[in-house]
Amino acid sequence: MIHDSIESFVAALPPNRAIAGLDLGTKTIGVAVSDLRRSVATPVEVIQRAKFTLDASRLLALLAARGAAGIILGLPLNMDGSEGPRAQSTRAFARNLTALTPLPLAFWDERLSTVAAERALIEADTSRKRRKEVIDQVAAGYILQGALDRLAHLA
């Protein structure tokens, strides 16, 4: 089920289970997972996109293996807060994904998450080749960490 607010999302979650964060791109899906206390996001993997059924199957298998109880999906809003074609595509992906899983899903504003991830990787002196390999999962970590920080203020 897709939740309109982070408050209704957290109410739908069982206690002491991880949450997954996703950075949905046209070619990849970055995945991050929280700890059981939902305080720290850890980048996990980048899934190379093929077609929706294969992407969803791989993603749901990964989430099941990690024990994820919910999904935070980065919503690529325009800088003025409006939704463009990428946000519409992300919402369509979410609708299709929720048809395949009972996991609750909420959106999180992902503006500048990739920029922040890139800066962090550069500061860590990560090579260009390695940055390209991990940027999406690190961005997913930023998206998820933002949501986790918000959840901490709700408790």
Task: Give the pLDDT score at 64.
Answer: 96
User: Looking at the 3D structure of the chain, how many domains does it have?
Assistant: 1
Nearest residue to 107 (alpha-carbon basis) of 41, 33, 16, 23: 23
Angle between helical axes of 128-154 and 113-123 (0-180°, round to 10) = 120
Q: Can you give the pLDDT at residue 155?
A: 62
The tokens of 60 are what? 């749901």
> Under DSSP, is residue 137 helix (H, G, I), strand (E, B) or coil?
helix
CATH number at residue 139: 3.30.420.140
Q: At 122, is the pLDDT very low, low, confident or very high (cuts 50, 70, 90)?
A: confident
Q: Is the pLDDT of residue 58 over 80?
A: yes
Average pLDDT, rounded, for the chain: 89
How far apart CA 111 and CA 75 sit, in angstroms, is: 8
Tokens of 1: 């089920």
Question: Taking a C-beta distance cutoff of 8 angstroms, is the pair 19, 144 a contact?
Answer: yes
User: What's the domain range around 40?
Assistant: 2-154
